[in-house]
Amino acid sequence: MMSKITVGVLALQGAFYEHLQLLRKAADLLASASSQEVSQWDFIEVRTKAQLDACDALILPGGESTTISLVAARSNLLEPLRDFVKLHRKPTWGTCAGLILLAESANRTKKGGQELIGGIDVRVNRNHFGRQTESFQAPIDLPFLQDGAKSLPFNGVFIRAPVVEKILPHQKGIQTEEDQRAETVVAPSREVVDAAAQKALEDEVEVLAKLPGRAARLVANSGVNIDAEKEAGDIIAVKQGNVFGTSFHPELTDDPRIHLWWLRQVQDAFSKRNGIAA
């Protein structure tokens, strides 16, 4: 039986159109790479709860996380988004601002100024690279894309990007310790309602990629003296169960490799959820 999988891209602000383009490209590649019957994909823009309810998986694009969360709150989408990610644990991927929204804790954020969706037990540091290097591109090594042979580096586009600065302990409820910190917001807790969500509580945060060499660059560029040992690399891609986040913007390149990898993950999750043998 051919399954139809609906993937939404939250289209309130930011680079949602670019994600849709790459999703289509990745789906074509997936179809041509497989000799078996493949899934049928439907890619949609999500602005309402009804559209979200139709989705099996979701992308939160890069943009401005404060604006996205504000518009989501005004559109009565914040709670449905939390249900989607944290209750039902449907596959979700956030890029840049999207990663911030998926974090359980984010700093450099005024309390009351921004709401998080949550879903990944990490603290992100917003605008991590500071003013001077607000935006840059760097070739990054993404081991999770490797399919046997070492893959070519990915062009990482970083625009006022966050990084994951701390992996937080598993917490069933709210991250109370985080909540004590100044300029830090935490995501509200969620009760677990179904078996998938219960299972997801066991998922650990996996670090999928780091950006090395920041220390070396800083020293070379500005003579800043920092301890290179302690700067083992900034965490720029994480995954906890079905929830995936990247600091950079694959949607601003024309390289569909991460979208292709993610669609495979979505397909697996869909098969498991629906009891279809993969």
Provide the annotated active-site residues: 96, 249, 251
In whole angstroms, how close is the CB of 203 to ligand GLN at the nearest point?
A: 25
Interface ranges with ligand GLN (CB under 6 A): 62-65, 96-97, 100, 126-127, 159-160
Closest to ligand GLN by CB, 65 vs 267, is 65
Q: Report long-range pairs for 81-85 (Cβ below 8 Å, ≥24 apart).
A: 81/10, 81/52, 81/117, 82/117, 82/118, 82/187, 82/188, 82/190, 83/190, 84/52, 84/55, 84/58, 85/58, 85/117, 85/118, 85/119, 85/243
Q: What is the DSSP letter of 33?
A: H
Task: Tell me the two tokens of residue 86.
Answer: 């944290």
In whole angstroms, how close is the CB of 51 to ligand GLN at the nearest point?
A: 22
Beta carbons within 10 angstroms of residue 47's beta carbon = 17
Q: What is the DSSP letter of 151?
A: P
Spatial CA neighbour of 138 closest among 167, 161, 108? 161
Residue 229, exposed/middle/buried by CB under 10 A (0-12, 13-18, 19+)? exposed
In whole angstroms, how close is the CB of 71 to ligand GLN at the nearest point?
A: 13
Closest to ligand GLN by CB, 30 vs 164, is 164
In whole angstroms, how close is the CB of 127 to ligand GLN at the nearest point?
A: 5
Length of the chain as a residue count: 278
CA–CA distance, 95 with 161 (Å, rounded to integer): 9
In whole angstroms, how close is the CB of 229 to ligand GLN at the nearest point?
A: 28
Residue 219, exposed/middle/buried by CB under 10 A (0-12, 13-18, 19+)? middle
198, 124 Cβ separation under 8 angstroms: no
CA–CA distance, 144 with 27 (Å, rounded to integer): 19
In whole angstroms, how close is the CB of 201 to ligand GLN at the nearest point?
A: 28
103, 245 Cβ separation under 8 angstroms: yes
Closest to ligand GLN by CB, 129 vs 262, is 129
